[in-house]
Structure 1
Protein backbone atom coordinates (compact mmCIF):
# COMPACT_ATOMS: atom_id res chain seq x y z
CA UNK A 1 0.00 0.00 0.00
CA UNK A 2 2.97 2.34 0.48
CA UNK A 3 4.62 1.70 -2.88
CA UNK A 4 3.36 4.97 -4.33
CA UNK A 5 6.29 7.07 -3.06
CA UNK A 6 7.77 9.27 -5.80
CA UNK A 7 11.46 8.64 -6.39
CA UNK A 8 12.82 11.66 -4.53
CA UNK A 9 15.95 11.95 -2.45
CA UNK A 10 14.72 14.45 0.15
CA UNK A 11 11.53 14.11 2.17
CA UNK A 12 9.61 15.66 5.04
CA UNK A 13 7.03 13.33 6.61
CA UNK A 14 3.98 14.13 8.74
CA UNK A 15 2.92 11.48 11.23
CA UNK A 16 0.46 11.41 14.09
CA UNK A 17 -2.72 10.04 15.56
CA UNK A 18 -5.99 10.25 13.68
CA UNK A 19 -7.84 13.51 13.86
CA UNK A 20 -4.97 15.73 15.03
CA UNK A 21 -5.16 17.90 11.90
CA UNK A 22 -2.37 16.42 9.76
CA UNK A 23 -4.25 16.83 6.49
CA UNK A 24 -5.18 20.43 7.34
CA UNK A 25 -1.54 21.12 8.08
CA UNK A 26 -0.48 19.45 4.83
CA UNK A 27 -2.90 21.71 2.97
CA UNK A 28 -1.53 24.75 4.79
CA UNK A 29 2.08 23.86 3.86
CA UNK A 30 1.49 22.88 0.23
CA UNK A 31 -1.53 25.03 -0.65
CA UNK A 32 -2.99 21.86 -2.12
CA UNK A 33 -6.14 20.03 -1.01
CA UNK A 34 -6.03 16.31 -0.33
CA UNK A 35 -8.88 13.94 0.38
CA UNK A 36 -9.67 14.47 4.02
CA UNK A 37 -12.69 12.90 5.54
CA UNK A 38 -14.91 14.36 8.21
CA UNK A 39 -14.23 11.28 10.29
CA UNK A 40 -10.93 10.01 11.68
CA UNK A 41 -8.99 7.37 9.85
CA UNK A 42 -10.04 8.44 6.38
CA UNK A 43 -6.48 8.84 5.13
CA UNK A 44 -5.38 5.20 4.86
CA UNK A 45 -2.57 5.60 2.37
CA UNK A 46 0.17 8.21 2.18
CA UNK A 47 -0.50 11.51 0.45
CA UNK A 48 2.62 12.65 -1.42
CA UNK A 49 3.17 16.14 -2.75
CA UNK A 50 6.36 16.41 -4.73
CA UNK A 51 8.58 18.80 -6.61
CA UNK A 52 10.71 17.05 -9.23
CA UNK A 53 13.03 20.02 -9.80
CA UNK A 54 14.08 20.08 -6.16
CA UNK A 55 14.07 16.29 -5.84
CA UNK A 56 11.81 16.76 -2.80
CA UNK A 57 8.56 15.29 -1.48
CA UNK A 58 6.30 16.05 1.50
CA UNK A 59 4.35 13.03 2.71
CA UNK A 60 1.31 12.90 4.98
CA UNK A 61 1.23 9.38 6.44
CA UNK A 62 -2.06 7.83 7.61
CA UNK A 63 -3.24 8.55 11.13
CA UNK A 64 -2.99 5.78 13.70
CA UNK A 65 -4.43 5.03 17.12
CA UNK A 66 -8.09 4.73 18.04
CA UNK A 67 -10.55 5.34 15.22
CA UNK A 68 -14.26 4.86 15.69
CA UNK A 69 -15.56 2.05 13.52
CA UNK A 70 -12.11 0.83 12.46
CA UNK A 71 -11.23 -2.71 13.64
CA UNK A 72 -8.20 -3.08 15.84
CA UNK A 73 -6.26 -5.26 13.40
CA UNK A 74 -6.62 -2.57 10.72
CA UNK A 75 -5.44 0.10 13.19
CA UNK A 76 -2.42 -2.00 14.09
CA UNK A 77 -1.60 -2.61 10.44
CA UNK A 78 -1.69 1.12 9.69
CA UNK A 79 0.69 1.84 12.56
CA UNK A 80 3.05 -0.93 11.41
CA UNK A 81 2.94 0.45 7.86
CA UNK A 82 3.77 3.95 9.10
CA UNK A 83 6.72 2.67 11.14
CA UNK A 84 7.99 0.59 8.20
CA UNK A 85 7.69 3.52 5.82
CA UNK A 86 9.73 5.78 8.09
CA UNK A 87 12.31 3.05 8.63
CA UNK A 88 12.63 2.27 4.92
CA UNK A 89 13.08 5.94 3.99
CA UNK A 90 14.98 7.18 7.05
CA UNK A 91 18.08 8.10 5.06
CA UNK A 92 16.05 10.38 2.82
CA UNK A 93 13.87 11.96 5.51
CA UNK A 94 15.27 15.37 6.44
CA UNK A 95 12.61 16.11 9.07
CA UNK A 96 9.89 14.05 10.72
CA UNK A 97 6.93 16.17 11.82
CA UNK A 98 4.95 14.51 14.63
CA UNK A 99 1.56 16.23 14.76
CA UNK A 100 -0.29 16.14 18.09
CA UNK A 101 -3.46 17.75 19.44
CA UNK A 102 -2.30 20.36 21.96
CA UNK A 103 -5.51 20.06 23.91
CA UNK A 104 -5.53 16.32 24.51
CA UNK A 105 -2.00 14.97 23.91
CA UNK A 106 -0.82 15.07 27.54
CA UNK A 107 -3.97 13.25 28.75
CA UNK A 108 -3.66 10.64 26.00
CA UNK A 109 0.01 10.04 26.84
CA UNK A 110 -0.82 9.69 30.54
CA UNK A 111 -3.72 7.35 29.83
CA UNK A 112 -1.49 5.01 27.82
CA UNK A 113 1.58 5.07 30.05
CA UNK A 114 2.21 1.95 32.05
CA UNK A 115 4.68 -0.83 32.66
CA UNK A 116 3.64 -2.64 29.47
CA UNK A 117 2.70 0.29 27.31
CA UNK A 118 4.53 3.16 25.65
CA UNK A 119 2.17 5.84 24.31
CA UNK A 120 2.26 6.04 20.48
CA UNK A 121 3.39 9.67 20.43
CA UNK A 122 6.27 9.09 22.82
CA UNK A 123 7.23 5.92 20.96
CA UNK A 124 7.31 7.67 17.57
CA UNK A 125 9.28 10.60 18.96
CA UNK A 126 11.89 8.16 20.26
CA UNK A 127 11.77 6.16 17.03
CA UNK A 128 12.75 9.18 14.91
CA UNK A 129 15.56 9.95 17.34
CA UNK A 130 16.78 6.35 17.17
CA UNK A 131 16.88 6.52 13.38
CA UNK A 132 18.79 9.80 13.55
CA UNK A 133 15.95 11.71 11.87
CA UNK A 134 15.41 15.25 13.27
CA UNK A 135 11.90 15.46 14.70
CA UNK A 136 9.63 18.47 15.20
CA UNK A 137 6.48 18.07 17.28
CA UNK A 138 3.77 20.25 15.73
CA UNK A 139 1.49 20.93 18.71
CA UNK A 140 -1.71 21.71 16.83
CA UNK A 141 -5.04 23.29 17.87
CA UNK A 142 -3.25 25.60 20.31
CA UNK A 143 -5.98 28.21 19.75
CA UNK A 144 -8.16 25.96 21.95
CA UNK A 145 -5.65 25.77 24.81
CA UNK A 146 -5.83 28.22 27.72
CA UNK A 147 -2.89 27.18 29.90
CA UNK A 148 -0.51 27.22 26.93
CA UNK A 149 2.89 27.26 28.66
CA UNK A 150 1.89 24.73 31.33
CA UNK A 151 0.53 22.40 28.66
CA UNK A 152 3.68 22.69 26.53
CA UNK A 153 5.93 22.18 29.58
CA UNK A 154 3.97 19.04 30.48
CA UNK A 155 4.36 17.70 26.94
CA UNK A 156 8.09 18.50 26.90
CA UNK A 157 8.52 16.57 30.13
CA UNK A 158 6.74 13.51 28.79
CA UNK A 159 8.98 13.51 25.75
CA UNK A 160 12.05 13.54 27.98
CA UNK A 161 12.82 17.23 27.40
CA UNK A 162 13.37 19.36 30.48
CA UNK A 163 10.98 22.31 30.77
CA UNK A 164 10.69 25.19 30.10
CA UNK A 165 9.59 24.15 26.62
CA UNK A 166 10.96 27.39 25.09
CA UNK A 167 14.45 25.83 25.17
CA UNK A 168 13.29 23.43 22.46
CA UNK A 169 11.88 25.68 19.76
CA UNK A 170 13.55 23.50 17.13
CA UNK A 171 11.62 20.53 18.52
CA UNK A 172 8.31 21.85 19.87
CA UNK A 173 6.23 24.05 17.59
CA UNK A 174 2.85 25.32 18.89
CA UNK A 175 0.57 25.93 15.89
CA UNK A 176 -3.03 26.24 14.78
CA UNK A 177 -3.22 24.79 11.27
CA UNK A 178 -6.89 25.61 10.79
CA UNK A 179 -6.19 29.27 11.44
CA UNK A 180 -3.15 29.24 9.16
CA UNK A 181 -0.88 29.97 12.10
CA UNK A 182 2.09 27.63 11.52
CA UNK A 183 5.13 29.96 11.71
CA UNK A 184 6.81 28.17 14.67
CA UNK A 185 6.70 24.91 12.69
CA UNK A 186 8.13 26.54 9.57
CA UNK A 187 10.98 28.03 11.60
CA UNK A 188 11.78 24.67 13.22
CA UNK A 189 11.69 22.79 9.91
CA UNK A 190 13.95 25.41 8.29
CA UNK A 191 16.45 24.99 11.11
CA UNK A 192 16.75 21.28 10.31
CA UNK A 193 16.80 21.83 6.54
CA UNK A 194 19.65 24.29 7.04
CA UNK A 195 21.55 21.72 9.12
CA UNK A 196 21.08 19.27 6.25
CA UNK A 197 22.45 21.84 3.78
CA UNK A 198 19.10 22.24 2.03
CA UNK A 199 18.38 25.98 2.28
CA UNK A 200 16.98 25.65 -1.26
CA UNK A 201 13.89 24.04 0.29
CA UNK A 202 13.10 27.06 2.51
CA UNK A 203 10.66 28.34 -0.11
CA UNK A 204 8.28 25.51 0.77
CA UNK A 205 8.15 26.42 4.46
Structure 2
Protein backbone atom coordinates (compact mmCIF):
# COMPACT_ATOMS: atom_id res chain seq x y z
CA UNK A 1 0.00 0.00 0.00
CA UNK A 2 1.31 3.46 -0.86
CA UNK A 3 2.06 5.82 2.01
CA UNK A 4 -0.57 8.31 0.92
CA UNK A 5 -4.34 8.21 0.60
CA UNK A 6 -5.92 9.37 -2.62
CA UNK A 7 -8.77 11.54 -1.33
CA UNK A 8 -9.98 12.12 -4.88
CA UNK A 9 -11.47 8.64 -4.64
CA UNK A 10 -13.65 9.65 -1.68
CA UNK A 11 -17.28 8.59 -1.96
CA UNK A 12 -20.31 8.01 0.24
CA UNK A 13 -20.80 4.35 1.24
CA UNK A 14 -23.89 4.09 3.46
CA UNK A 15 -25.83 5.56 6.35
CA UNK A 16 -26.84 3.50 9.39
CA UNK A 17 -29.46 4.29 12.04
CA UNK A 18 -28.36 1.49 14.37
CA UNK A 19 -24.97 -0.04 15.10
CA UNK A 20 -26.39 -3.55 14.54
CA UNK A 21 -26.85 -2.63 10.85
CA UNK A 22 -23.17 -1.80 10.28
CA UNK A 23 -21.15 -4.53 8.56
CA UNK A 24 -17.93 -5.64 10.33
CA UNK A 25 -14.73 -3.65 9.73
CA UNK A 26 -12.78 -4.78 6.70
CA UNK A 27 -10.34 -1.89 6.43
CA UNK A 28 -8.76 0.91 8.52
CA UNK A 29 -11.29 3.33 10.02
CA UNK A 30 -11.13 6.98 11.03
CA UNK A 31 -14.09 8.20 13.10
CA UNK A 32 -15.07 11.86 13.48
CA UNK A 33 -16.93 12.94 16.60
CA UNK A 34 -17.83 16.32 18.10
CA UNK A 35 -20.53 18.76 19.06
CA UNK A 36 -23.33 19.38 16.57
CA UNK A 37 -22.09 22.78 15.41
CA UNK A 38 -18.34 22.14 15.56
CA UNK A 39 -17.89 22.01 11.77
CA UNK A 40 -17.38 18.26 11.38
CA UNK A 41 -18.82 18.03 7.84
CA UNK A 42 -16.78 21.05 6.71
CA UNK A 43 -13.51 19.54 7.98
CA UNK A 44 -14.30 16.19 6.33
CA UNK A 45 -15.13 17.91 3.02
CA UNK A 46 -11.85 19.87 3.24
CA UNK A 47 -9.98 16.61 3.85
CA UNK A 48 -11.64 15.03 0.79
CA UNK A 49 -11.14 18.19 -1.26
CA UNK A 50 -14.85 18.06 -2.13
CA UNK A 51 -17.38 20.79 -1.41
CA UNK A 52 -20.57 18.86 -0.73
CA UNK A 53 -19.68 15.20 -0.26
CA UNK A 54 -20.42 15.29 3.46
CA UNK A 55 -23.67 17.19 3.85
CA UNK A 56 -23.13 20.47 5.70
CA UNK A 57 -26.32 21.37 7.46
CA UNK A 58 -27.67 24.82 8.21
CA UNK A 59 -29.39 23.23 11.22
CA UNK A 60 -26.83 21.95 13.71
CA UNK A 61 -27.54 18.44 14.89
CA UNK A 62 -28.85 17.25 11.54
CA UNK A 63 -26.65 14.14 11.28
CA UNK A 64 -28.82 11.61 13.11
CA UNK A 65 -27.18 8.51 11.64
CA UNK A 66 -23.69 7.09 11.32
CA UNK A 67 -22.45 7.90 7.82
CA UNK A 68 -19.65 5.95 6.15
CA UNK A 69 -17.38 7.36 3.43
CA UNK A 70 -14.46 5.63 1.77
CA UNK A 71 -11.27 6.89 0.15
CA UNK A 72 -8.57 4.57 -1.17
CA UNK A 73 -9.41 1.64 1.10
CA UNK A 74 -9.88 3.68 4.28
CA UNK A 75 -13.29 4.28 5.86
CA UNK A 76 -14.13 7.72 7.23
CA UNK A 77 -17.03 7.68 9.67
CA UNK A 78 -19.17 10.71 10.43
CA UNK A 79 -20.81 10.21 13.82
CA UNK A 80 -23.89 12.18 14.93
CA UNK A 81 -23.05 15.50 16.57
CA UNK A 82 -23.71 15.53 20.30
CA UNK A 83 -25.19 18.07 22.65
CA UNK A 84 -27.55 20.08 20.50
CA UNK A 85 -30.38 21.27 22.68
CA UNK A 86 -33.03 21.88 20.02
CA UNK A 87 -33.69 18.20 19.47
CA UNK A 88 -36.14 16.27 21.63
CA UNK A 89 -34.81 14.47 24.69
CA UNK A 90 -35.66 11.09 23.11
CA UNK A 91 -33.73 11.98 19.96
CA UNK A 92 -30.71 13.19 21.99
CA UNK A 93 -30.76 9.94 23.98
CA UNK A 94 -30.92 7.92 20.75
CA UNK A 95 -27.82 9.73 19.47
CA UNK A 96 -25.95 9.20 22.74
CA UNK A 97 -26.78 5.48 22.56
CA UNK A 98 -25.77 5.33 18.90
CA UNK A 99 -22.36 6.92 19.62
CA UNK A 100 -21.89 4.77 22.76
CA UNK A 101 -22.87 1.54 20.96
CA UNK A 102 -20.54 2.41 18.11
CA UNK A 103 -17.51 2.88 20.36
CA UNK A 104 -18.34 -0.28 22.27
CA UNK A 105 -18.59 -2.41 19.12
CA UNK A 106 -15.74 -4.53 17.71
CA UNK A 107 -14.23 -2.27 15.04
CA UNK A 108 -10.82 -1.20 13.76
CA UNK A 109 -10.57 2.10 15.56
CA UNK A 110 -7.36 3.24 13.87
CA UNK A 111 -7.99 6.86 14.76
CA UNK A 112 -10.73 8.93 16.36
CA UNK A 113 -10.75 12.62 15.46
CA UNK A 114 -12.46 14.50 18.27
CA UNK A 115 -13.43 17.99 17.12
CA UNK A 116 -13.59 20.97 19.47
CA UNK A 117 -14.31 24.59 18.53
CA UNK A 118 -11.11 26.57 19.23
CA UNK A 119 -13.08 29.73 20.03
CA UNK A 120 -14.64 28.32 23.21
CA UNK A 121 -13.60 26.36 26.26
CA UNK A 122 -14.47 22.67 25.86
CA UNK A 123 -18.03 21.87 26.97
CA UNK A 124 -18.89 19.28 29.64
CA UNK A 125 -19.73 16.88 26.78
CA UNK A 126 -16.35 17.52 25.13
CA UNK A 127 -14.66 16.66 28.43
CA UNK A 128 -16.76 13.48 28.73
CA UNK A 129 -15.90 12.45 25.19
CA UNK A 130 -12.14 12.91 25.70
CA UNK A 131 -12.23 11.11 29.06
CA UNK A 132 -14.16 8.27 27.43
CA UNK A 133 -11.55 7.98 24.64
CA UNK A 134 -8.68 8.15 27.16
CA UNK A 135 -10.20 5.52 29.45
CA UNK A 136 -11.09 3.27 26.52
CA UNK A 137 -7.51 3.37 25.24
CA UNK A 138 -8.54 4.76 21.83
CA UNK A 139 -5.94 6.39 19.59
CA UNK A 140 -7.25 9.89 19.05
CA UNK A 141 -6.35 13.45 18.14
CA UNK A 142 -8.19 16.62 19.06
CA UNK A 143 -8.83 18.79 16.01
CA UNK A 144 -9.52 22.37 17.05
CA UNK A 145 -11.88 23.77 14.40
CA UNK A 146 -12.64 27.28 13.09
CA UNK A 147 -9.10 28.60 13.65
CA UNK A 148 -9.59 31.13 10.82
CA UNK A 149 -11.92 33.04 13.16
CA UNK A 150 -9.00 33.89 15.51
CA UNK A 151 -5.71 35.76 15.12
CA UNK A 152 -2.53 33.65 15.17
CA UNK A 153 -1.64 34.77 18.68
CA UNK A 154 -5.10 34.00 19.99
CA UNK A 155 -5.04 30.56 18.31
CA UNK A 156 -1.86 29.56 20.14
CA UNK A 157 -3.26 30.87 23.43
CA UNK A 158 -6.56 28.99 23.03
CA UNK A 159 -4.84 25.78 21.89
CA UNK A 160 -2.64 25.86 25.02
CA UNK A 161 -5.65 26.52 27.27
CA UNK A 162 -7.71 23.68 25.72
CA UNK A 163 -4.72 21.30 25.95
CA UNK A 164 -4.54 22.00 29.69
CA UNK A 165 -8.30 21.73 30.22
CA UNK A 166 -8.63 18.43 28.35
CA UNK A 167 -5.33 17.08 29.69
CA UNK A 168 -4.15 16.00 26.22
CA UNK A 169 -0.50 16.02 25.05
CA UNK A 170 0.38 18.90 22.70
CA UNK A 171 1.28 16.50 19.86
CA UNK A 172 -2.29 15.15 19.91
CA UNK A 173 -3.80 18.57 19.21
CA UNK A 174 -4.16 19.90 15.67
CA UNK A 175 -5.35 23.45 15.01
CA UNK A 176 -7.55 23.33 11.88
CA UNK A 177 -9.72 25.46 9.63
CA UNK A 178 -12.03 24.21 6.90
CA UNK A 179 -11.99 27.76 5.48
CA UNK A 180 -8.28 28.31 4.86
CA UNK A 181 -6.99 24.73 5.14
CA UNK A 182 -4.93 25.26 8.32
CA UNK A 183 -3.88 21.92 9.82
CA UNK A 184 -5.42 19.75 7.10
CA UNK A 185 -2.00 18.47 5.96
CA UNK A 186 -1.15 17.62 9.60
CA UNK A 187 -4.43 15.76 9.98
CA UNK A 188 -3.75 13.82 6.77
CA UNK A 189 -0.30 12.94 8.14
CA UNK A 190 -1.76 11.45 11.32
CA UNK A 191 -4.37 9.52 9.33
CA UNK A 192 -1.66 7.97 7.11
CA UNK A 193 0.43 7.12 10.19
CA UNK A 194 -2.49 5.34 11.86
CA UNK A 195 -4.10 3.68 8.86
CA UNK A 196 -1.39 2.60 6.41
TM-score range, shorter chain: 0.7 to 0.9
CA distance in 2, matches of 1:47, 1:179: 25
Q: Which moved more, 1:124-133 or 1:3-12?
A: 3-12
1:138 partner SS? strand
* Runs (5+) with no aligned partner, structure 1: 110-118, 162-166, 200-205
Structure 2 residue matching 1:38: 3-state secondary structure = coil
Distance 1:6 1:156 in 2: 35
Structure 1 residues 1-34: Cα deviation after superposition (integer angstroms, max 9, x where no partner):
2345354242110000001110111112234512
Alignment correspondent of 1:50: 70
**Which among 118, 141, 147 is matched to residue 142 of structure 1?**
147
Other structure's SS at 1:178 match: coil
**Which residue number corresponds to residue 133 of structure 2?**
128
Q: Which has the higher contact order (CA 8 A, sep 6+)?
A: 2
In the TM superposition, residue 86 of structure 1 has moved relative to its aligned partner by 1.5
Q: Distance in 1 between matches of 2:114 and 2:38?
A: 10
TM-score by length of structure 1 reads: 0.76
1:110-168 CA distances to partner (integer Å, 9 max, x unpaired)? xxxxxxxxx1111111212222211100100011123112111110111124xxxxx62
Question: Structure 1 pair 34/6, CA: closer, same or farther in 2 (3 Å)?
Answer: farther
Residue 6 of structure 2 corresponds to none
Question: Contact conserved, 2:148 with 2:179, CA < 8 A, in 1?
Answer: no
Distance of 1:26 and 1:2 partners within structure 2: 22
Q: TM-score, normalised by structure 2?
A: 0.79
Equivalent residue, structure 2, for 1:94? 110
Alignment of 1:190 with 2:195, yes or no, is no
- The count of aligned residue pairs is 173
- RMSD after superposition: 2.0
1:112 equivalent in structure 2: none
CA offset at residue 77 of structure 1? 2.0
Match of 1:159 in 2: 166
SS in 1 for 2:114: strand
